Amino acid sequence: MAPKRGDIVVFHTPSAARRDCGAGGTFVKLIVGLPGEVWEKRAGYVYIDGVRLRESYITKDRRDGDSDPPYRIPKDQYYVMGDNRASSCDSRVWGSLPRKDLIGKVFAVYWPPKRVSLHS
C-alpha cells in the first residue's frame, strides 16, 4: 500500500539529514506532501498545491512563523515534517524523503504517556 498524507512513518535517516542535523539512524515524521505535489509554507502554515492543510495537531507554541517558497516533490519521494515545527529537523532542512528510505508506518505511540495511541 502506498504511503499517504497523514501517515506517521519511520525511515532511515537520509545522508543529508545526518550532515545537516547531526543525527543518524532512524527518524519518525509525518507525511505532509506526496510525489508530484507542490509544498509551500506561508507564515508557519503548510500549503499543498495552493490549499492550506488543516493541522489541528500542531499547537501554536510548536509552529514557527517561517515562510518557504513552493517546492515540487519529486517522483517516488515524500515531504515529511515533525510536529514540533519550531525545532524539527525534517524535509525543510534536508529535502524530500526517497521512498526507498521508508521502513514503515507507525502503528503505536507509547511515549509520552499522555499521547499513547494506536494507528491503523
Q: Which residue, among 36, 33, 18, 31, has the nearest Cα to 89 in the 3D structure?
A: 18
Per-residue pLDDT of the chain (120 residues; tens, 9 = 90+): 789 999 999 999 888 888 888 877 888 999 999 999 999 999 999 999 999 999 988 888 888 889 999 999 999 999 999 988 888 889 999 999 999 999 988 765 655 566 655 666
The model carries a pTM of 0.88
- CATH class, range 8-118: mainly beta
CB 76 within 8 A of CB 35: yes
